[in-house]
Amino acid sequence: MKYLIAIIFLLSGCASLETPVPVAPKFPDVPKELLEKCPKLILIQGEAVTLSSVIKTTVENYTLYHECSVKQEHWIEWYNSQKRIYEDLKK
């Protein structure tokens, strides 16, 4: 009788080791910097449009575009790496 009880305990212990434990990892939050919208482009101010004001506005708009482009690239890179990590955890 003792052996029967021992065998039952051993078998029930082995069965519990093979049962997978459900783990639900939380997908990471987005960094605040990546949630900011791109600024609107600058318009030429004033009635008298000069070549210098056109060039200045163009340079400022290009700067705004390139800064936003870099943020967008980093957002895509961050998202893809986090998604890979998340999917690897689920395996």
- Interval 25-38: pLDDT, tens: 677 777 787 778 88
- Interval 36-56: pLDDT, tens: 888 899 998 878 889 999 999
Q: Letter for the amino acid at 54? A: V
pLDDT confidence of residue 23:
67
Number of Cβ atoms within 10 Å of the Cβ of 74: 13
The pLDDT mean for the chain works out to: 80
pLDDT confidence of residue 69:
92
Half-sphere exposure of 72 (CA within 13 A, CB side): 9
* Biggest alpha carbon–alpha carbon distance for the chain: 104
Whole-prediction pTM value? 0.56
pLDDT confidence of residue 36:
81
